Amino acid sequence: MKKIIYNIIILLGVLSCSDLEVIPDGVNTADNLFETEEDAEAAVNAVYSSLQTADIYNQFMEAIQSQGTDDAEWGYGRNTSNTNKLQMDKFQFDASSDLILRFWKEHYVNINRANIVIKRIAEMDINEDLKNRFLGEAHFVRALMYFNLVRLYGAVPVVTEPTESLEGLNVARSSTDIVYELIEEDLKFAELNLPVQYGTENYGRATKGAALGLLAKVYLTNKQYIDAKNTAEDVMDLGVYSLWASYVDVFDIANENIKESIFEIQFTSTGDAINSVSSSFQGFFKPSAQVMPPGPGEFAGYGDNPVTENHFQIYNEGDERRDVNVLYVPSAPSSIQFPYYVNKYQDPEAVSVQDGGNNYYILRYADILLMYAEAINAEEGPTVEAYSAFNKVRRRAFGFPVNVESLADLTEGLTKEQFQDSLELERRKEFAFEGQRRFDLLRWGKLKEAVEAQDPSITVQEKHNLFPIPEQEIIVNDLLAGDQNPGY
């Protein structure tokens, strides 16, 4: 899949690429672009490719999920001129914030690409199984985009047809119930039409397990605990996923797209060539030269997403995840009060800040196990099954075999509330800097509590549980006028 994305022919081009009201690009939706199976595949690849942009998964999602929570914070001698990240970090964003608009825009770019694929490929006379697989991939990505939007903005415009004319460009917000109905429909369609596995030449494409795993997360978010439990169990029953023996193995580039991996955003090192298919995580997260001078042949980073001491201190003695997730630099200048940095993304072959082959996880098997445990506990309390799933993840963190009782196992006899508290802490450690923290805190209703416990100088208001609808969208779309999220 990495080669597929790197060598992609972007048939869908700019595709009404900024706002819902943008004039459509008729050339990019022309019938003659959807004649062969190769055309269809290239169009599907274009849907995947925009997931790699800095405005979604190559930077901004992590800024939202870490700097916008208790896991990372600018300050304490660590500063940035990046207004977007500072606003997110200090909860000072508003409807005019550039990040809020860019994140929104790129999601609708990809929704439109998916809509084009869904409409045009459905009309094609190609192999039926291949057609259905392509459609399943487009439905999966569209569901992922709407799932991000509804969790961060609440009610959003639902668009299921490609933008091909000047009619109907303004779209009102749909209720969150309607958005979630579409997400569920898309994922159920994807689950029915996607394969369980691909050959190596197609690694990185959405699978049946990816659709089911994302659907389990949708159900958990909506407190449909029985459905979440059953759907997570469906993923487990596929029999194709298992935990790596060591936590560090999960993030080895050689281990991408196999074993524990369910769905990843694909990135490829391109050397000195600055290209959107390279991951910027390693370079942006590495300490700056002032904090940790690079050795011969190495390069310094930007020190983005600086880890809080609050996060560094959550790990128990012997938990191998701490040193995989966090780099502590005790030799940092005294001006750096808390010299902690993200260490998770390592590419020894990278040659510059913006070069890296590190994929970005959306779903991995440890997430399925912990969602399964959380859903069971919410419905029934901490059963044997919930403990079993939880302990597999915890044992691996301390270097024990995952299927054998160990000293790391969670204390038995916990109440439902105690088990939930343990699970919340486990998720924070297991998925640090993987785009999960804000979504988890929102699901638990604990964003304000967590952020203010980490830094009482930050004020988190009720309105911050949702982002504002971007001001520019409200200006150009009269159906959004007067329909801003409360508090903005």
Please check the confidence at residue 30 and state whether its pLDDT lies above 60: no
pLDDT confidence of 89, banded at 50, 70, 90?
Answer: very high
Assess contact for 192 and 215: CB atoms under 8 A. Answer: no
Cα 156 vs. chain centroid, distance in angstroms?
Answer: 19
Radius of gyration of the chain (CA): 22
Q: Pick from 209, 200, 310, 189: which is nearest to 256 by CA?
A: 200
pLDDT score of 392:
98
Bin 256: left if φ > 0, else alpha if -120 < ψ < 50, else beta: beta
Tens digits of residue pLDDT in 391-420: 999 999 999 999 999 999 999 999 999 999
Give the 3-state DSSP-derived string for the chain, with helices as H, strands as E and coil as C.
CHHHHHCCCCCCCCCCCCCCCCCCCHHHHCHHHCCCHHHHHHHHHHHHHHHHCCCCCCCHHHHHHHHCCCCECCECCECCCCHHHHHHHCCCCCCCCHHHHHHHHHHHHHHHHHHHHHHHHHCCCCCHHHHHHHHHHHHHHHHHHHHHHHHHHCCCECCCCCCCCCCCCCCCECCHHHHHHHHHHHHHHHHHHCCCCCCHHHCCCCCHHHHHHHHHHHHHHCCCHHHHHHHHHHHHHCCCCCCCCCHHHHHCHHHCCCCCEEEEECCCCCCCCCCCCCCCHHHHHCCCCCCCCCCCCCCCCCCCCCECHHHHCCCCCCCCHHHHHEEECCCCCCCCCCCEEECCCCCCCCCCCCCCCCCEEEEEHHHHHHHHHHHHHHHHCCCHHHHHHHHHHHHHHCCCCCCCCCCCCCCCCCCHHHHHHHHHHHHHHHCCCCCCHHHHHHHHCCHHHHHHHHCCCCCCCHHHHCCCCCHHHHHHCHHHCCCCCCCC
323 lies in a domain?
Answer: no
- Which backbone phi and psi does 368 adopt, to 5 degrees? -60, -45
Assess contact for 104 and 149: CB atoms under 8 A. Answer: yes
115 lies in a domain?
Answer: yes
Tens digits of residue pLDDT in 187-227: 999 999 999 999 999 999 999 999 999 999 999 999 999 99
131 lies in a domain?
Answer: yes
Task: Give the integer Cα–Cα distance in Å for 198 and 411.
Answer: 40
pLDDT confidence of 25, banded at 50, 70, 90?
Answer: very low
Tokens found for residue 90: 């200090």
Mean pLDDT of the chain: 92
Please check the confidence at residue 7 and state whether its pLDDT lies above 50: no
Q: How much is the pTM? A: 0.94
Number of domains in the chain: 1
Tens digits of residue pLDDT in 368-379: 999 999 999 999
Task: Give the integer Cα–Cα distance in Å for 335 and 286.
Answer: 18
The gap between the terminal CA atoms of the chain, to the nearest Å, is 41
Task: Give the integer Cα–Cα distance in Å for 150 and 89.
Answer: 21
pLDDT score of 31:
59
Please check the confidence at residue 5 and state whether its pLDDT lies above 90: no
pLDDT confidence of 81, banded at 50, 70, 90?
Answer: confident
Cβ neighbours of residue 187 closer than 8 Å, sequence gap 6 or more: 139, 140, 143, 211, 212, 214, 215, 218
160 lies in a domain?
Answer: yes
Mean pLDDT of 315-337: 96
111 lies in a domain?
Answer: yes
The b-or-e profile of 392-406 (16+ CB within 10 A means b, else e) is bbbbbbbebebeeee
Task: Give the integer Cα–Cα distance in Å for 26 and 46.
Answer: 17
Assess contact for 43 and 116: CB atoms under 8 A. Answer: yes
pLDDT confidence of 2, banded at 50, 70, 90?
Answer: very low
412 lies in a domain?
Answer: no
- 20: containing domain: 1-60+95-172
Tens digits of residue pLDDT in 106-122: 999 999 999 999 999 99
Assess contact for 330 and 254: CB atoms under 8 A. Answer: no
Tens digits of residue pLDDT in 343-356: 999 999 999 988 99
pLDDT score of 275:
65
126 lies in a domain?
Answer: yes
Neighbours of 290 (CB within 10 A): 13
473 lies in a domain?
Answer: no
pLDDT score of 483:
95
Q: What is the CATH number of the domain that holds 6?
A: 1.25.40.390
* Residue 152 exposure: Cα atoms within 13 Å on the Cβ side: 26
